[in-house]
């Protein structure tokens, strides 16, 4: 079996890179089953050892017991997001419960937990490093939070809940994806394209041709299609149609997620109560910087108190502008993007589309690599590793001075059928100790950027450049990791710290020194004018209240779902309407956000969506230091790399941040950056 299944045979590419080009759907399930049996045998060996429990023979050994299983499931779930076939989606419903039950077998094994507890109880006498202390503490808490202290009835209930959740999360994400893919806006009359930039029209032509609809224009709910349409299309009724379709994903159709939402929150609440917590938010936040739901709610309400008045003022100004522009009637949600773009053009004398010719993907990517080379002394070299799609590019990342291999980097940029919407960073192997020695990571960023057309290369918006820098910030967290134990490498940090390394990178994409590395007109080679860079910066805080209110709304919605007694919730839309009535400026005019809120129902952000704004405080405070000392100040960048990026989750984030910054983050740094702090008080 191992010879015929590429997931089980030795990987022969340099650095043992995965053989994506020969992996087929039918290879996954046999590989998962065999890898589980292999991991189970390793766990049995640890559990039945005649040696006294030690950190090395118990805690460290457990971390390496499931290496093959982690590799196989990592490849499977990453490919499920990057371009799932129907067969893979079926497999997810089978692989999820198998993996969940194996994890439950480990976490609920009394003999294994006895060894872990023995090491934990002796921790003060073991002379452990800071990293080992963190790994041990997390391992012990992982067992307790996983049900190790429950009686048999409790363990049985918990096992069943985990099994159900392992299926519901992927099913939720699948429904969002399928519902999105089902919709198309087909335009046959050219006059309905009025207002749209040439890049959007060309992309719609190509989309139509790919669907055998030559002579028409096809728009989809992929953001490179949907976003410009809402921003620029003059045809208001078509904007409304697009907006309602996007807002109603996985609601009221055959992919409706309402039942999934209710099941997920009920199961998570039940799990939390079985483990002795008040609710799921209470359970999650015990392992976060914020620590408690009260702390999160206080943080979000403070932001809301600042953002809502600013958003009301934003909307008031927009309505006045739209009337002056000739609009009659009431502004609706599908008008906001359109008229705010027109308003921005008038106020700041530029359009977002004016930037696009200066951001062809290939030079932007090359310049982004140069940016990280200047900051952290690393080099990206194109290579030819096996990849999962012809669009995917691969690179060796090395230390510029020593030439040492730092990791393998994959870049996957364009939408395609089966690919999850949005953008994310992921890894196929973490940095750290494996059974055959220390390994460097395999890291990927996966995006849905504007595709190239017959007449032009992929031309990014500035927002897409920000997304690239954001995801590359996550990638650097993984790539530059320098820990011993892979369980705590890179982004394996407390969830409300994980967005710092990504969000802080977005700041550089507004700076002339950085933009000059890559921003050149794709036809003339002309560098982006300083005047245009200044306009972008002048407009940076345009509608900041509106954007901040939206993020506050999502954070509070997330907390409501995970701190309310689910027995009191019978209808998803009604519940969302009730809990968001003070955080929206329009009544709901499409489906509820919740049915497509993959971050919290299909991803890892449940009771954690607030972390985006939490980390923005840290990133604003961090970038202030670079602004003081220089964007590429070697000493500051080296300290940031050493104290933040290299350390991963080896110590508590508050310690790491203070070691880097010399103090705790200034809580007002974010509002100061957004121009909402005046005279020491929130505006």
pLDDT band at 1 (very low <50, low <70, confident <90, very high): low
Distance CA 42, CA 494 (A): 28
Q: What is the pLDDT of residue 454?
A: 87
11-15, 48-52, 677-681: lowest mean pLDDT where?
Answer: 677-681
Q: What is the pLDDT of residues 153-211, one digit of tens each?
A: 999 999 999 999 999 999 999 999 999 999 999 999 999 999 999 999 999 999 999 99
Can you state the percent helix, strand and coil of the chain, rounding each to 5? Answer: 60, 10, 35
Q: What is the pLDDT of residue 677?
A: 77
Asked if residue 658 has pLDDT above 90, the reply is: yes
Instruction: Compute the average pLDDT of residues 618-630.
Output: 97
What number of helices (H) and strands (E) belong to the chain?
26, 11
CB 248 within 8 A of CB 238: no
Q: What is the β-pairing status of strands 424-429 and 442-446?
A: antiparallel
Closest CA to 555 of 579, 539, 572, 533: 579
Q: What is the pLDDT of residue 3?
A: 64
Per cent of the chain over pLDDT 70 is: 99
- What value does the mean pLDDT of the chain take? 96
Strand blocks (E) in 437-520 = 437-439, 442-446
CB atoms within 10 A of CB 487: 23
Closest CA to 45 of 130, 93, 111: 111
Closest CA to 399 of 480, 478, 486: 480
Asked if residue 681 has pLDDT above 50, the reply is: no
Closest CA to 72 of 30, 126, 105, 14: 30
Q: What is the pLDDT of residue 682?
A: 45
pLDDT band at 678 (very low <50, low <70, confident <90, very high): low
| 471 catalytic per annotation | yes
Q: What is the pLDDT of residue 374?
A: 98
Q: What is the pLDDT of residues 467-506, one digit of tens each?
A: 999 999 999 999 999 999 999 999 999 989 999 999 999 9
Residue/partner pairs of 348-351 with CB below 8 Å, 24 or more apart: 348/535, 348/538, 348/539, 348/542, 349/535, 350/532, 350/535, 350/536, 350/539
CB 488 within 8 A of CB 482: no
At residue 402, φ and ψ (nearest 5 deg) are -95, -20
Closest CA to 59 of 144, 142, 119, 147: 119
Q: What is the pLDDT of residues 56-86, one digit of tens each?
A: 999 999 999 999 999 999 999 999 999 989 9
Closest CA to 20 of 73, 75, 64, 71: 75
Write the DSSP string, 652-682.
-HHHHHHHHHSSPPPTTHHHHHTT-EETTEE
At residue 347, φ and ψ (nearest 5 deg) are -70, -40
Asked if residue 648 has pLDDT above 60, the reply is: yes
Q: What is the pLDDT of residues 585-608, one digit of tens each?
A: 999 999 999 999 999 999 999 999
For residue 515 the two structure tokens come to 């933009």
In sequence order, what are the beta bridge partners of 410? 394, 444
Residue 30, CA atoms < 13 Å, CB-side half-sphere:
14
CB 661 within 8 A of CB 621: yes
Asked if residue 318 has pLDDT above 90, the reply is: yes
CB 394 within 8 A of CB 385: yes
CB 542 within 8 A of CB 344: yes
- By residue count, the chain amounts to 683
Q: What is the pLDDT of residues 216-269, one digit of tens each?
A: 999 999 999 999 999 999 999 999 999 999 999 999 999 999 999 999 999 999
Write the DSSP string, 384-425.
----SSTT-EEEEEEETTT--EEEEEEEE-S--TTPPSS-EE
Q: Which residue has the tokens 């003999």?
A: 111
Closest CA to 100 of 42, 167, 41, 174: 167
Q: Residue 390, Cα to own-chain centre: how many angstroms?
A: 23
Distance CA 480, CA 500 (A): 15
270-274, 300-304, 521-525, 674-678: lowest mean pLDDT where?
Answer: 674-678
Closest CA to 607 of 555, 682, 671: 555
For residue 539 the two structure tokens come to 């407009």
Instruction: Compute the average pLDDT of residues 630-634.
Output: 98
Closest CA to 207 of 221, 197, 195: 221
Residue/partner pairs of 201-206 with CB below 8 Å, 24 or more apart: 202/453, 202/454, 202/455, 202/456, 203/450, 203/451, 203/453, 205/453, 206/451, 206/453, 206/454
Q: What is the pLDDT of residue 683?
A: 39
The CA-based diameter of the chain, rounded to the nearest angstrom, is 83
For residue 556 the two structure tokens come to 């509070």
Question: 212 — alpha (psi -120 to 50), left (phi > 0) or beta?
Answer: left
> At how many degrees (to 10) do helices 462-479 and 361-376 cross?
40
Q: Please tell me which residue in 341, 353, 464, 471 is annotated as part of the active site.
A: 471
Closest CA to 596 of 381, 421, 445, 457: 421
Ordered domains of the chain (ranges, CATH): 14-107+109-149 (1.20.1050.40), 183-247 (no CATH), 258-348+543-607 (1.10.1370.10), 357-492 (3.40.390.10)
pLDDT band at 328 (very low <50, low <70, confident <90, very high): very high
CB 73 within 8 A of CB 170: no
Distance CA 279, CA 146 (A): 15
Asked if residue 679 has pLDDT above 60, the reply is: no
DSSP state of 523: T
């Amino acid at each position: 079996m191992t010879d015929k299944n590429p997931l089980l045979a030795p990987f022969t590419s340099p650095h043992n890179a995965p053989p994506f080009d020969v992996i087929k759907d039918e290879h996954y399930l046999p590989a998962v089953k065999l890898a589980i049996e292999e991991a189970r045998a390793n766990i049995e060996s640890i559990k039945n050892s005649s040696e006294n429990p030690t950190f090395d023979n118990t805690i460290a050994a457990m971390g390496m017991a499931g290496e093959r299983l982690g590799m196989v499931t990592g490849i499977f779930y990453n490919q499920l997001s990057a371009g799932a076939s129907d067969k893979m989606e079926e497999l997810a419903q089978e692989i999820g419960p198998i993996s969940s039950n194996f994890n439950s077998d480990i976490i609920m094994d009394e003999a294994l937990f006895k060894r872990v507890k023995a090491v934990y109880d002796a921790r003060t006498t073991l002379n452990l490093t800071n990293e080992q202390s963190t790994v041990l503490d997390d391992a012990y808490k992982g067992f307790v939070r996983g049900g190790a202290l429950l009686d048999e009835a409790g363990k049985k209930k918990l096992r069943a809940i985990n099994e159900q959740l392992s299926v519901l999360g992927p099913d939720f994400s699948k429904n969002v994806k399928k519902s999105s893919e089902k919709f198309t806006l087909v335009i046959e009359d050219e006059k309905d394209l009025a207002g749209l930039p040439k890049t959007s029209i060309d992309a719609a032509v190509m989309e139509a041709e790919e669907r055998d609809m030559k002579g028409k224009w096809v728009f989809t709910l992929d953001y490179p299609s949907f976003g410009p349409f809402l921003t620029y299309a003059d045809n208001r009724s078509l904007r409304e149609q697009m907006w309602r379709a996007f807002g109603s994903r996985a609601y009221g159709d055959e992919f409706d997620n309402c039942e999934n939402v209710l099941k997920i929150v009920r199961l998570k609440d039940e799990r939390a109560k079985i483990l002795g917590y008040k609710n799921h938010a209470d359970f999650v936040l015990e392992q976060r910087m914020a620590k408690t739901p009260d702390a999160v709610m206080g943080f979000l309400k403070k932001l809301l108190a600042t953002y809502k008045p600013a958003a009301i003022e934003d909307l008031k100004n927009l309505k006045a502008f739209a009337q002056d522009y000739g609009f009659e009637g009431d502004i609706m949600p599908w008008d906001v993007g359109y008229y705010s773009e027109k308003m921005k053009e008038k106020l700041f004398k530029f359009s977002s589309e004016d930037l696009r010719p200066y951001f062809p993907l290939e030079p932007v990517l090359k310049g982004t690599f140069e940016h990280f080379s200047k900051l952290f002394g690393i080099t990206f070299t194109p290579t030819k590793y096996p990849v999962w799609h012809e669009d995917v590019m691969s690179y060796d990342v090395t230390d510029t001075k020593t030439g040492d291999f730092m990791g393998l980097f994959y870049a996957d940029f364009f939408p395609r059928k089966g690919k999850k919407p949005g953008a994310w960073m992921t890894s196929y192997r973490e940095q750290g100790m494996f059974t055959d020695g220390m390994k460097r990571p395999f890291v990927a960023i996966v995006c849905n950027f504007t595709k190239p057309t017959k007449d032009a290369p992929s031309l990014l918006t500035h927002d897409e450049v920000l997304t690239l820098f954001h995801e590359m910030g996550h990638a650097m967290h993984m790539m530059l990791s320098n820990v011993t134990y892979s369980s705590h490498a890179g982004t394996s940090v407390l969830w409300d710290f994980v967005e710092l390394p990504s969000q802080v990178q977005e700041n550089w994409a507004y700076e002339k020194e950085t933009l000059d590395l890559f921003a050149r007109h794709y036809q003339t080679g002309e560098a982006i004018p300083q005047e245009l860079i200044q306009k972008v910066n002048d407009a940076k805080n345009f509608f900041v209240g509106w954007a901040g209110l939206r993020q506050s709304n999502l954070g509070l919605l997330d907390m409501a779902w995970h701190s309310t007694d689910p027995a009191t919730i019978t209808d998803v839309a009604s519940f969302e309407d009730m809990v968001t009535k003070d955080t929206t400026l329009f009544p709901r005019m499409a489906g509820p956000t919740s049915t497509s809120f993959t971050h919290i129902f299909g991803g890892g952000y449940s009771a954690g969506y607030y972390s985006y704004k939490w980390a923005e405080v840290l990133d604003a405070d961090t970038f202030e230091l670079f602004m003081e000392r220089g964007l590429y100040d070697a000493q500051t960048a080296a300290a940031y790399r050493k104290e933040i990026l290299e350390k991963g989750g080896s110590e508590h984030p508050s310690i790491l941040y203070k070691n880097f910054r010399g103090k705790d983050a200034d809580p007002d740094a974010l509002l100061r950056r957004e121009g909402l702090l005046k005279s020491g008080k929130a505006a």
